[in-house]
C-alpha cells in the first residue's frame, strides 16, 4: 500500500476518546501507522497538511507591537482631535502635535519590537525533542514536528509531547494535575477502556502536557497542537502569557494613573469651558495633560529591561528560555538544590572497598560492584558515558582495568529505580552456577540481608561521618533462577561496601553567602544518606533547620510536611516523587520556589517549581524540564541571575516613581495655571514635546546601576507606597513650577511665548534631573553613582530642552526668546529644588511605612494558568497558530502538495 493510499484511508483526526476504546493494533490501523511508525516522507506530508504540533507562536509580530502603541484610548482621541484641528485651520499646531505623537509611537515601537525579536531569538535557541520511531528507526525530532501516527518512546520525567494512545507501558504513572487538578498520579495501561469513558478515566491514553511520574511507555500520536486536550486549554488562554505578579502590578499602577488623569483632565476641560476659552483648544490641552501624566514608554522600558537582562545573563553564563523567566528568578526566595556539583565538586571518585567478611577480598568486592551495573560489559571496552556518576566512577577506577568480561555471562538484569534504590543482576561465572548480585543504598541492601553485626554498622557510620558516599553490595546463590523479579531480592549476604568521595567546592561557602545576602534560603534535596548531607553542610558552616528523610516524608500528611519543609534544610534519601511533593507544598505555603537539578530523577521537581534550573551538562530530560540553564554548575552563577532579575524590577520602579512625582506635579501645575492665567501655560504640542523628551531620556534607566540593599529580597508592587510617594514629591515639583510662574510674570513680565519657553525649560530640567535623587535611597553621586548611559541621556535631554526655545524651531513650536538673567535664576531654582527633594527623600524613607522589612512577606502564589503557559512554551512554532489548532502555513503547504499529486 502506498503512502498516498494510506493517507487517503487513514483518519488523521482520531478523537482520543475513540482511540482509548480501540485496541493498540486498531488505533495504529486507523491512523495509517504501525509498530515501526511512519516513514519520513509520510511524516513530512502529514506535517505539511496538519501544521506543526504547536499551541504558541514565538514569531515577532511588528503589526501587533504597533497596534499596542495605539492601544491607549486617550492617544487615539488626541490624534482624532488634532486631525479635527487641522481640518478647522490650525495647521501648525496640529502638525507639531502629529509629529510628536509619531516620534513617541515610533520610539515605543522600536524598543518593544527589538525586545520581541530578542524573545524570538531566545525561543529559536531552545529546542525540545522526543524519541520517535520513523521507518523502523528510533531518532529524536523536535516536538513541534510530531504528527498523528508517530510512535514515540517516553521515560521518567518526560513531558508527554502530544495526545497518545498507549502501545506499551512499564509501571507507568502520569502526573495529570495540570489538566485535572488531581494531585495523585494516574495509573496507565494499554488495555482498551469502555466507549464513552470520561477523560479522567482514559487509562489507555496519555495527554499532551502531562508528565511521566514513573515508569516508561511507547504510544502512537492521535492528536497534536490545538487538537490535543492540553492544546485546547492553552489556546484558550490566548497567545500572550498570563500576567505575572509584576505585570499585574503594572496594570494596577496604570489604573491609578488613569484615575488621576480622568479627574485632572475633566476638571481642566470644564474650567476652561466655563472661562469661555476656545472649545477645541481646551479639549486639545486637556488631552495633552492626560497623555503627559501617563508614562507612555513604560511597556518599552519593561521590554527593554527584559531584553537587556537576557543579554547580561548570557554573558554571565545563564541561559533563560523565556523573557518572563528573569522575573521568576528575581522573585525566588527559596532554592532547593541537589548536593552533587553545587555544594560539592561533582567529580565522584572511587576510593576503595570495605569487605564485610574475611572471605571477600577488596578486588572481589569491586568485581561484584562492576557486575551489578547496567553497563554492557560483554564488549572489549566499557564506556562511562550515560551511566550514573557512581557506576561511572567504578568503571573509571584503576581496579576496573583488571576486570575480565569474558569470565562472566549476564543472564538477567533489574535496572535501578528510585523506589527500590538498587540494581540487581543474575550472572554466571565461567559456566558455573548462577548467582544474584545486588548493589544500592546501604539502608535498603541491609534490610534484605540478615541481622547487621555491630562492627559492620560501625564501619558504615564511620564512612558516613567522613562524608563518604557508600554503596552496599550483597549476593546469594541463584542456581535455579533463569529470570529475575523484584521478589527474588531476598535472603542476601552482605559482601561489603564500595566507598566514594565527592569533595566540597572551594567556593561553595562564598556562593551560599551571596544567596543568603539575596534573602534566599537554600535547602538540599538529595538521594544520599542524611549523615553525609549533614556533614557537608556542617563543613560549609550551613546552619541546619533540621533533616527530613524520605521515610519521614512518606509518613507525613500534606499539612504537616508543609510546615516541616519550611524550616527543614536537608531532605535526604528522597525519591523523585517526594522531591516534587516537597516543592509543591513549599509553593503552596507562600514561597517562590526554585529547584536546581541535573538528573532524570530531578525532572518531576523541575516541572513543579516556579523556576526550574538545570545545567548545560545535565541529562536531556532535566534540561528540557528547566526554565533556566546554567552553563556552569555553580550557585554563584545562579546568584548573578537572581540579581539581574531584581535589578530589572528595581530599575522599572525608578521609572514609575519618576512618572508619579514629576509628571503628576507638572500636570497639576498646568491644570492650576490654565484656570488662573488668561492664556494656556503651555500649548498642547509643547506639553507632548516635553513628555517625549523626558521619556526618551528615561530609556537609559534599564542599564542603570542598582544599590545593594535593593537586591536583598524580592521586590513587589506596592500601590500605596507609590501613591504616598506621588502625593509628597508631586506637590514639591508643583511648588517650583509656581515659583517659575511668579518669576516669569512678576520679575520678567513675560509674554505668553516667553512664559511657555521659561516653564518648558524649568520643567524639563527639574523632572529629568530628579532621577538622580529618586534612583537611590542613598546620597546621590557620593554613595550611589548612576550609570554613564543614564547620566549622558539625562544631561542630553536637559541640554536639548534648553536649546529648543532658543533654536530656529522656536517660532514653529510657539516659543519666544528668554532674557539671560532667567537662566541664572533657573540654575539657582534647580539647585534648591534638588536639595529640597533630597531632604524630603531622607524624611520619607525614614518613616516606618517605607522601611524594608527584615523578613519580606511571602510571594503571592502563581495561579494554574501560569504553569499551563509555562508548559505550553515547549510547543512553540514560528508560524501563527489559530485557535482551532490549524496553521496558515500548513494550509498553504497542503494546497501546494495537493497540486503536485
pLDDT digits (tens, 9 = 90+) for 679-736: 888 887 888 788 888 878 877 888 889 888 888 877 776 777 888 888 888 889 899 9
Answer yes or no: 338 catalytic.
Answer: yes
Q: Is 190 or 65 the better-scoring residue by pLDDT?
A: 190
Distance of CA 670 to the CA centre of its chain: 43
- Please give the grid coordinates belonging to residue 26: 486498531
Beta strand residue intervals within 135-287, DSSP E: 137-142, 151-154, 163-175, 186-187, 205-206, 211-223
Residue 383: its pLDDT value, please? 52
Residue 246: its pLDDT value, please? 62
Q: Is 31 or 324 the better-scoring residue by pLDDT?
A: 31
Residue 897: its pLDDT value, please? 34
Query: What share of the chain has pLDDT > 70, as a percent?
Result: 84
Instruction: Work out the average pLDDT over 242-255.
Output: 63
How far apart are the C-alpha atoms of 558 and 759, rounded to whole Å? 64
Half-sphere exposure of 288 (CA within 13 A, CB side): 31
Give me the catalytic one of 338, 552, 695, 704: 338
Distance of CA 466 to the CA centre of its chain: 38
DSSP string across 499-523: EEE-PBPTTHHHHHHHHHHTT-EEE
Distance of CA 594 to the CA centre of its chain: 10
Q: Is the pLDDT of residue 566 over 60?
A: yes
Half-sphere exposure of 582 (CA within 13 A, CB side): 34
Q: How far is CA 364 from CA 80, 361, 371, 375, 592, in A?
A: 89, 5, 11, 18, 49
Q: How far is CA 16 from CA 265, 521, 825, 885, in A?
A: 57, 44, 78, 15
Average pLDDT of every residue of the chain:
81
User: Which three-class secondary structure state does DSSP give residue 482?
Assistant: coil
Query: What share of the chain has pLDDT > 90, as a percent?
Result: 25
Distance of CA 105 to the CA centre of its chain: 29
DSSP string across 639-655: HHHHHHHHHHHHHHHHH
Residue 245: its pLDDT value, please? 60
Longest pairwise C-alpha distance within the chain: 115
Q: How do residues 588-645 score in pLDDT, each as one tens digit?
A: 877 789 999 887 778 888 888 888 888 877 777 777 778 888 887 788 888 888 888 8
Q: Is the pLDDT of residue 795 over 80?
A: yes
Q: For residue 243, how many other CB atoms are within 10 A of its CB?
A: 15
Q: For residue 855, how many other CB atoms are within 10 A of its CB?
A: 7
16 within 8 A of 202, measured Cβ to Cβ: yes
Give the chain's radius of gyration (CA, Å): 34
540 within 8 A of 505, measured Cβ to Cβ: no
74 within 8 A of 296, measured Cβ to Cβ: no
The CA-based angle 631-392-408, given to 5 degrees, is: 155
Q: How do residues 806-857 score in pLDDT, each as one tens digit?
A: 999 898 888 999 999 999 999 999 999 999 999 999 898 888 666 555 444 5
Instruction: Work out the average pLDDT over 269-293.
Output: 78
573 within 8 A of 443, measured Cβ to Cβ: yes
Amino acid at each position: 500500500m502506498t503512502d498516498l493510499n494510506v493517507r487517503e484511508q487513514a483518519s488523521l483526526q482520531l478523537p482520543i476518546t475513540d482511540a482509548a476504546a480501540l485496541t493498540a493494533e486498531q488505533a495504529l490501523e486507523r491512523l495509517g501507522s504501525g509498530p515501526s511508525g511512519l516513514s519520513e516522507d509520510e511524516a513530512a506530508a502529514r506535517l505539511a497538511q496538519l501544521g506543526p504540533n504547536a499551541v504558541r507562536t514565538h514569531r515577532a509580530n511588528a503589526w501587533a507591537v504597533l497596534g499596542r502603541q495605539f492601544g491607549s484610548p486617550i492617544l487615539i482621541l488626541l490624534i482624532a482631535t488634532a486631525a479635527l484641528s487641522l481640518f478647522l485651520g490650525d495647521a501648525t499646531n496640529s502638525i507639531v502635535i502629529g509629529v510628536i505623537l509619531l516620534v513617541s509611537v515610533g520610539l515605543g515601537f522600536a524598543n518593544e519590537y527589538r525586545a520581541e525579536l530578542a524573545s524570538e531569538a531566545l525561543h529559536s535557541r531552545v529546542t525540545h525533542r522526543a524519541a520517535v520511531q520513523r521507518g523502523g528507526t528510533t531518532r529524536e525530532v523536535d516536538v513541534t514536528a510530531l504528527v498523528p501516527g508517530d510512535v514515540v518512546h517516553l521515560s521518567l520525567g518526560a513531558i508527554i509531547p502530544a495526545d497518545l494512545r498507549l502501545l506499551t507501558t512499564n509501571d507507568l504513572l502520569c502526573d495529570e494535575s495540570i489538566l485535572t487538578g488531581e494531585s495523585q498520579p494516574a495509573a496507565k495501561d494499554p488495555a482498551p477502556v469502555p466507549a464513552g469513558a470520561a477523560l479522567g478515566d482514559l487509562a489507555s491514553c496519555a495527554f499532551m502536557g502531562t508528565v511521566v511520574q514513573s515508569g516508561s511507555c511507547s504510544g502512537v500520536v492521535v492528536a497534536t497542537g490545538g487538537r490535543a486536550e492540553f492544546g485546547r486549554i492553552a489556546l484558550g488562554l490566548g497567545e500572550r502569557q498570563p500576567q505575572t505578579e509584576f505585570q499585574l502590578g503594572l496594570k494596577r499602577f496604570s489604573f491609578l494613573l488613569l484615575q488621576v488623569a480622568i479627574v485632572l483632565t475633566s476638571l481642566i476641560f470644564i474650567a476652561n469651558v466655563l472661562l469661555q476659552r476656545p472649545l477645541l483648544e481646551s479639549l486639545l490641552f486637556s488631552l495633552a495633560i492626560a497623555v503627559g501624566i501617563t508614562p507612555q514608554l513604560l511597556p518599552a522600558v519593561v521590554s527593554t529591561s527584559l531584553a537587556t537582562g537576557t543579554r547580561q545573563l548570557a554573558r554571565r553564563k545563564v541561559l533563560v528560555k523565556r523573557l518572563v523567566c528573569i522575573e521568576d528568578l528575581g522573585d525566588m526566595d527559596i532554592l532547593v538544590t541537589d548536593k552533587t556539583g553545587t555544594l560539592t565538586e561533582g567529580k565522584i571518585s572511587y576510593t576503595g572497598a570495605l569487605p564485610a567478611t574475611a572471605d571477600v577480598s577488596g578486588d572481589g568486592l569491586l568485581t561484584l560492584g562492576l557486575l551489578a551495573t547496567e553497563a554492557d560489559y560483554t564488549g572489549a571496552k566499557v564506556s562511562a558515558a550515560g551511566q550514573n556518576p557512581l557506576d561511572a566512577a567504578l568503571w573509571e577506577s584503576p581496579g576496573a582495568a583488571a576486570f575480565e568480561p569474558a569470565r562472566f555471562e549476564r543472564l538477567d538484569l533489574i535496572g535501578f529505580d528510585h523506589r527500590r534504590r538498587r540494581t540487581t543482576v543474575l550472572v554466571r561465572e565461567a559456566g558455573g552456577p548462577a548467582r544474584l548480585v545486588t548493589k544500592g543504598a546501604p539502608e535498603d541492601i541491609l534490610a534484605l540481608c540478615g541481622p547487621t553485626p555491630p562492627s559492620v554498622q560501625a564501619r558504615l557510620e564511620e564512612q558516613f561521618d567522613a562524608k563518604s558516599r557508600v554503596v552496599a553490595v550483597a549476593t546469594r546463590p541463584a542456581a535455579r533462577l533463569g529470570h529475575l523479579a523484584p521478589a527474588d531480592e531476598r535472603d542476601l549476604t552482605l559482601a561489603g561496601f564500595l566507598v566514594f568521595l565527592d569533595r566540597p567546592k572551594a567556593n561553595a561557602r562564598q556562593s551560599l553567602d551571596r544567596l543568603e545576602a539575596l534573602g534566599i534560603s537554600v535547602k538540599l534535596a538529595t538521594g544520599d544518606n542524611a549523615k553525609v548531607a549533614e556533614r557537608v553542610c556542617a563543613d560549609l558552616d550551613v546552619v541546619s533547620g533540621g533533616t527530613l528523610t524520605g521515610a519521614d516524608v512518606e509518613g507525613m500528611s500534606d499539612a504537616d510536611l508543609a510546615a516541616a519543609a519550611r524550616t527543614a534544610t536537608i531532605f535526604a534519601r528522597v525519591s523523585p516523587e517526594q522531591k516534587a511533593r516537597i516543592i509543591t507544598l513549599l509553593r503552596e505555603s507562600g514561597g517562590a520556589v526554585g529547584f536546581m537539578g541535573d538528573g532524570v530523577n530531578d525532572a518531576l521537581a523541575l516541572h513543579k517549581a516556579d523556576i526550574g534550573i538545570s545545567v548545560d551538562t545535565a541529562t536531556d530530560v532535566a534540561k528540557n524540564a528547566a526554565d533556566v540553564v546554567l552553563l556552569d554548575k555553580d550557585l554563584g552563577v545562579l546568584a548573578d541571575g537572581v540579581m539581574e532579575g531584581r535589578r530589572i524590577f528595581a530599575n522599572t520602579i525608578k521609572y514609575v516613581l519618576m512618572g508619579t512625582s514629576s509628571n503628576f506635579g507638572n500636570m497639576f501645575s498646568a491644570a492650576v495655571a490654565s484656570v488662573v492665567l488668561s492664556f494656556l501655560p503651555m500649548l498642547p504640542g509643547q506639553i507632548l514635546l516635553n513628555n517625549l523628551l523626558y521619556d526618551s531620556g528615561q530609556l537609559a534607566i534599564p542599564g542603570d546601576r542598582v544599590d545593594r540593599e535593593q537586591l536583598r529580597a524580592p521586590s513587589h508592587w506596592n500601590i500605596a507606597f507609590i501613591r504616598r510617594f506621588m502625593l509628597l514629591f508631586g506637590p514639591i515639583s508643583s511648588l517650583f513650577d509656581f515659583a517659575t510662574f511668579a518669576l516669569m510674570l512678576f520679575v520678567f513680565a513675560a509674554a505668553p511665548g516667553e512664559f511657555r519657553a521659561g516653564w518648558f525649560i524649568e520643567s524639563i530640567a527639574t523632572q529629568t534631573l530628579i532621577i538622580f535623587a529618586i534612583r537611590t535611597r542613598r546620597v546621590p553621586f557620593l554613595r550611589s553613582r548612576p550609570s554613564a548611559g543614564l547620566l549622558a541621556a539625562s544631561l542630553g535631554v536637559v541640554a536639548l530642552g534648553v536649546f529648543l526655545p532658543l533654536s530656529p524651531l522656536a517660532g514653529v513650536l510657539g516659543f519666544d526668546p528668554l532674557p539671560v538673567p532667567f537662566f541664572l535664576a533657573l540654575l539657582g531654582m534647580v539647585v534648591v529644588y534638588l536639595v529640597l527633594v533630597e531632604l524630603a527623600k531622607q524624611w520619607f524613607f525614614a518613616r516606618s511605612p517605607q522601611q524594608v522589612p527584615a523578613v519580606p512577606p511571602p510571594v503571592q502564589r502563581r495561579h494554574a494558568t501560569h504553569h499551563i503557559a509555562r508548559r505550553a512554551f515547549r510547543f512553540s512554532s514560528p508560524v501563527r497558530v489559530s485557535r482551532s489548532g490549524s496553521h496558515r502555513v500548513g494550509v498553504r503547504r497542503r494546497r501546494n502538495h495537493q497540486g503536485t499529486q
